[in-house]
Structure 1
Amino acid sequence: MSLDLTPDRNPDHPVAPQFPARWSPRSFTDRALTEAEVMSLLEAARWAPSASNHQPWRFIWALRGEAEFDAIRDSLTGINPVWAGKAGLLVVVASKDRVTNREGAEVANRTAGFDTGAAWMSLALQAQAMGLVSHAMGGFDGAKLAAAIGLPEGHTLHCVVAVGAQGPVADLPEELQAREKPNGRKPVVEIARHGRF
């Protein structure tokens, strides 16, 4: 979809085109992803910024056709399994809750979610650079997903990301077809203040 046809995706201030061009489609083709492609996505995430270089993000991934993919898909809720099950790759995004501080004590990592969000964005932008699309979902059964991936204690689940080649809108269930387009963003004046709230 051309961004020229969607005025709500035109930035108000100059930015690199990768930012407004990235969106979260739900329609995927049946194109399989290779393990080498997955490694490129994870390598991009690896280089995300991280407080004190703790790198708390954890990614558990599976390719379509693998039993692990099916287990992750089956933990999704609502209509998510219908469309996400057609992606070439599902990635569970989690984070390690605790870190060892400079004094050697185990403490809560208060920036774990923040850092993990940066890693997910790196993965999303790498997918886009590779001609793929990605869509993160919060609609999952936490207990079922934790069991499916063997989530260790002391970790938090954040989302499941579907990655693959973008498919046609007509391949989606009718109820999703109208939503299969890039959406806009709040203006900067709604999300940022100079100096104080």
Structure 2
Amino acid sequence: MELHPIIAQRWSPRAFDPEATVDASIVRLLMEAARWAPSHGNTQPARFIVGYRGDETFQRIYGTLRPGNQSWAGRASVLVVGARVTGDERGPIPNTEYGLGLAVQNLVLQAVHLGLVTHQMGGFGKEAVAEAFGLPEDVVPVVVVAIGYLGDVNDLPEDLQARERRPRERRPLNEIVFTGTWGKGWQ
């Protein structure tokens, strides 16, 4: 048995094709994938703000990014803010971070399936997003996802070119999966 190719192929490049566009029908499919993610008690806490390169929403999202992310994210075709709603008519919603994470992972894997690349970012101003989009108090922005088609690594600043070419690495299973007691590596 082997890891599913969609999981194995997923990575987070910073090199986006600045000329490519992602059709609205494809973005709609990505949002559908996110919508169908599991959530605690089917509370569906994930919310998204979508901006296409060249529109005002994209520019407002881009403006909240930290400078390091701005150095490359403007080339993406789409920027999406992922936020979590912390309550509904029944009261506080548990595990909202988990629900948003599952929704974003669905979006990302659907993107890989469609030949797109994505890069998830935590380097943005959460308060700036809340202000720029008039978010209610019970909505917390968590991530910005850049979406598009793979571009040329040589178009990135030199420091990012090296990071882009590094091999993908993950900790070995015995460092992240335990049995019996914490820290006892699972085999």
Report what 1:21 is aligned to: 9
Query: Contact 1:56–1:116 at 8 Å: present in 2 too?
Result: yes
CA drift of 1:92 comes to 0.1
% identical aligned pairs: 43
Q: Which runs of 5+ in 1 are unaligned?
A: 1-12
Q: Which runs of 5+ in 2 are unaligned?
A: 183-187
In structure 1, distance between residues paired with 2:22 and 2:32: 15
Query: Contact 1:169–1:177 at 8 Å: present in 2 too?
Result: yes
Match of 2:36 among 40, 47, 59: 47
Deviation string, structure 1 residues 1-36 (Cα, Å, up to 9, x no partner)? xxxxxxxxxxxx732121121000001112011111
Match of 2:86 among 97, 117, 123: 97
Superposition RMSD in Å: 1.4
The count of residues paired between Structure 1 and Structure 2 equals 180
Report what 2:178 is aligned to: 193
Give the secondary structure class of the aligned counterpart of 1:48: coil
In structure 2, distance between residues paired with 1:46 and 1:196: 36
Deviates more, 1:144-153 or 1:56-65: 144-153
Match of 1:148 among 110, 132, 148: 132
Output the amino acid matched with 1:69.
F
Output the amino acid matched with 1:52.
G
Report what 1:10 is aligned to: none
CA drift of 1:80 comes to 0.6
> Which residues of 2 match residues 32-71 of structure 1 at below 5 A?
32-71=21-60
Output the amino acid matched with 1:88.
S
